[in-house]
A and B are shown apart, each in its own frame.
Chain A
Amino acid sequence: MTDALIGGIVVFVLASFVGFEVINKVPSLLHTPLTSASNAISGITIVGSMVVVGMITPELSNVFGVIAVIFAMINVVGGYLVSDRMLAMFGADKKKDEKEAKS
């Protein structure tokens, strides 16, 4: 267990540095979509939620798990879709989405 914990910490620290490097280059123009897109990525908790629900677990754990899946899925789906809506306004294929944005 301790080995796994140490391994996890190593991965966490290195991945944080990768994150700093990649995200520092995003221009302020796109900071709102960046926030919502990275927000959607944080919905990766969906993985943990699904495992917890699918396992043979006491009932209470299942209840928590199902709500967790719903929450994480809202985070994932909602996050990617709002990012896409915003990015469509910036991108090259702008025309198509004009109507959608107005409605």
Chain B
Amino acid sequence: MMQHVAELAYLLAAIIFIIGLKWLSSPVRARKGNMLSAVGMLIAILVTLLDKQIVSYGLIAIGLLVGSVLGVWMARAVKMTAMPQMVGLLNGFGGGASLLVAAAEWYRLIQPGQLLTTGTAVTIYLSSLVGGVTIAGSVVAALKLQGWVVPDRPVLFPGRHALSIGLILTVIAMGVYLGYNPGTMWAFIVLNLASMILGIQLVIAIGGADQPVVICLLNSYSGIAAAMTGFVINNHGLIITGALVGASGIILTNIMCKAMNRSIWNVLFGGVGVVVAGSGGDKGAALRAKGVRTITQEDTAALLGYGKLVIVVPGYGMAVAQAQHQVRELADLLHKRGVEVLYAIHPVAGRMPGHMNVLLAEANVPYEALLDLDAINPNFDRADVAIVIGANDVVNPAARHDTSSPIYGMPILDADKAQHIIVMKRSMNPGFAGIENELFYDSKTQMLFGDAKKTLLGLINEVRTLE
């Protein structure tokens, strides 16, 4: 009876998670949705305490307490710019928990008098595999994003595909071996180690700019790992919930890949980030010969201050310079002068999906002004000025027409359709994809060189002096 009540309570928790996720689709209700989902988690935890298999509560209490304290501390300490690595790390903890539950169950079931059925064994090994890949991959991704220990660029070495295949075969071989010799400790350890090395190996080959995809994918894995744990302990609530998260991660991975004009296989196995396309060869040389026009802060301020609609195109460069607060200050000034200011947010702006929105929201930019690709593009036609701050490839018109360009086919922001284009940039170095940007050489474009933050402060002063 108690068992049935618990099953139903887990189902209730899963339904609450679904409703909570549904509410996340509107900025107004999103916060409540998140809280609702937390209530679902509380229900799941409380019901678990009533589980008849549980006989001692001391260790559970210690674990819950220590985890809560660490969780609160991490969540409070993290800066918004560091959110991608934070999410990556939290992901890793989830994956790690799945790995550990699998190990604990395995060790319990190989004791004399216990029965490890084939079905349970398979789910335990799968849980170890997914959990191991998730924890190791997440830690590497977080380190890369943080810029610690592991280099940001892709780390490629000869035979890495062979190594991956070898690792997968090792996991399978150990699984089969364990099927015939269930209690073999060394084989189980090898299985776990191989899974973790596989996780490291998958992520270390992927460059910093591709990390948004990795974070989404690992998120998906952590969901699948949770579902696997559900299979191990035979709990439908866990399976449903894990599947939800798995699906969410896959959708976001897909969106990111589309926005970067790449397939998931290309991201995972292409080792991209090392594509050095020269500088577009002859085309690049021709463009450079044309030269760029520059503009002063004073003239820029006049263009902005006397316009009707200004569209800001922020890129990761802006976030690195921590210039979002100055952008908002400038926008406020313009707003007071009756200029409409909108923001064009490309899906890959920032280091994880939606990251740029969070950074701008932190600077108190109203979310109504943050428009995604489809919503903003029709507006460039009527914009007086498009001001590109630290963005590059996402505004390169070559993506539309130059079939030889590596970014051909990538959805871009139509900044070139504005009447004036101001590009704020540190120097003329090409962007991540290593290709010259046609937009910079457009007759309507003027370059405003310098550090983003300082330049924006200059612009703010100039706009203040306008009539």
A residues neighboring B (CB under 8 Å): 1-2, 4-5, 7-8, 11-13, 15-20, 22-58, 60-62, 64-94, 98, 101
B428 close to A (CB within 8 Å): no
Tell whether, in the assembled complex, residue A81 and residue B245 are in contact, meaning their CB atoms are under 8 Å apart. Answer: no
Tell whether, in the assembled complex, residue A89 and residue B358 are in contact, meaning their CB atoms are under 8 Å apart. Answer: yes
Tell whether, in the assembled complex, residue B30 and residue A33 are in contact, meaning their CB atoms are under 8 Å apart. Answer: yes
Contacts of B317 in A (CB 8 A): none
Contacts of B64 in A (CB 8 A): 50, 69, 73
B238 close to A (CB within 8 Å): yes
B463 close to A (CB within 8 Å): no
Segment touching A, from B92-100, B331-339, B385-393, B432-440: B92-100
Check A39/B94 contact, CB under 8 A, given A47-B235, A75-B71.
Answer: yes
Contacts of B70 in A (CB 8 A): 70, 73-74, 77-78
Tell whether, in the assembled complex, residue B243 and residue A36 are in contact, meaning their CB atoms are under 8 Å apart. Answer: no
CA A7 to CA B75, docked complex, whole Å: 37
B277 close to A (CB within 8 Å): no
B255 close to A (CB within 8 Å): yes
A1 CB to nearest chain B CB (Å): 4
Segment touching A, from B197-205, B225-233, B401-409: B225-233
Instruction: Give 7 closest A-B pairs by Cβ, nearest first.
Output: A73-B67, A19-B247, A69-B63, A77-B71, A54-B54, A31-B354, A81-B75
Q: Mark B48-78, 1 if CB is under 8 A from A, else 0.
A: 1101011111011011101110111011101
B244 close to A (CB within 8 Å): yes
Contacts of A60 in B (CB 8 A): 104, 107
Tell whether, in the assembled complex, residue A78 and residue B71 are in contact, meaning their CB atoms are under 8 Å apart. Answer: yes
Tell whether, in the assembled complex, residue A75 and residue B248 are in contact, meaning their CB atoms are under 8 Å apart. Answer: no
CA A83 to CA B163, docked complex, whole Å: 37
Q: Mark B288-331, 1 if CB is under 8 A from A, else 0.
A: 00000000000000000000000000000000000000000000
B37 close to A (CB within 8 Å): yes
Tell whether, in the assembled complex, residue A29 and residue B367 are in contact, meaning their CB atoms are under 8 Å apart. Answer: yes
B268 close to A (CB within 8 Å): no
Tell whether, in the assembled complex, residue B67 and residue A51 are in contact, meaning their CB atoms are under 8 Å apart. Answer: no
Q: Give the contact-size bracket for chain B.
A: 35 or more
Segment touching A, from B168-176, B214-222, B278-286, B445-453: B214-222
Contacts of B190 in A (CB 8 A): none
Residue of A36, A42, A66, A82 ringed by the most chain B CB atoms within 10 A? A42
CA A78 to CA B72, docked complex, whole Å: 6
- Across the two chains, which residue of chain A brings its CB closest to B88? A39
CA A6 to CA B98, docked complex, whole Å: 21
Tell whether, in the assembled complex, residue A72 and residue B67 are in contact, meaning their CB atoms are under 8 Å apart. Answer: yes
Known pairs A42-B219, A80-B37; list 4 more (Cβ under 8 Å): A16-B246, A29-B370, A39-B91, A80-B35
Segment touching A, from B20-28, B142-150, B413-421: B20-28
CA A66 to CA B18, docked complex, whole Å: 28
B residues neighboring A (CB under 8 Å): 10, 13-14, 17-18, 20-22, 24-25, 27-28, 30-31, 33-35, 37-38, 40-41, 44-45, 48-49, 51, 53-57, 59-60, 62-64, 66-68, 70-72, 74-76, 78, 80, 83, 86-87, 90-91, 93-94, 96-98, 100-101, 103-105, 107-108, 111, 117-120, 123, 215-216, 219, 222-223, 225-227, 229-252, 255, 345, 347, 350, 352-355, 357-358, 361-362, 364, 367, 370, 372
Tell whether, in the assembled complex, residue B94 and residue A42 are in contact, meaning their CB atoms are under 8 Å apart. Answer: yes
Tell whether, in the assembled complex, residue A57 and residue B74 are in contact, meaning their CB atoms are under 8 Å apart. Answer: no
A-B contact pairs, 24 of them (CB 8 A): A7-B236, A16-B246, A28-B255, A29-B354, A29-B372, A37-B24, A39-B87, A39-B245, A42-B241, A44-B238, A48-B233, A50-B60, A52-B104, A65-B100, A66-B59, A68-B104, A71-B93, A72-B93, A74-B90, A75-B94, A78-B71, A80-B34, A82-B87, A90-B30
Tell whether, in the assembled complex, residue B241 and residue A20 are in contact, meaning their CB atoms are under 8 Å apart. Answer: no
CA A36 to CA B33, docked complex, whole Å: 13
Tell whether, in the assembled complex, residue A16 and residue B247 are in contact, meaning their CB atoms are under 8 Å apart. Answer: yes
Question: Which of the residues B51, B76, B236 comes within 8 Å of A8, measured between beta carbons?
Answer: B236
Check A41/B100 contact, CB under 8 A, given A20-B251, A101-B362.
Answer: no
Tell whether, in the assembled complex, residue B44 and residue A47 are in contact, meaning their CB atoms are under 8 Å apart. Answer: yes
Contacts of A30 in B (CB 8 A): 24-25, 27, 30, 354, 357
Check A40/B63 contact, CB under 8 A, given A28-B353, A45-B98, A54-B53.
Answer: no
Question: Which of the residues B66, B225, B232, B361 comes within 8 Å of A70, measured between beta carbons?
Answer: B66
- Across the two chains, which residue of chain A brings its CB closest to B110? A58
Question: Which of the residues A15, A34, A49 comes within 8 Å of B252, measured between beta carbons?
Answer: A34
Residue of B40, B103, B111, B372 ringed by the most chain A CB atoms within 10 A? B103
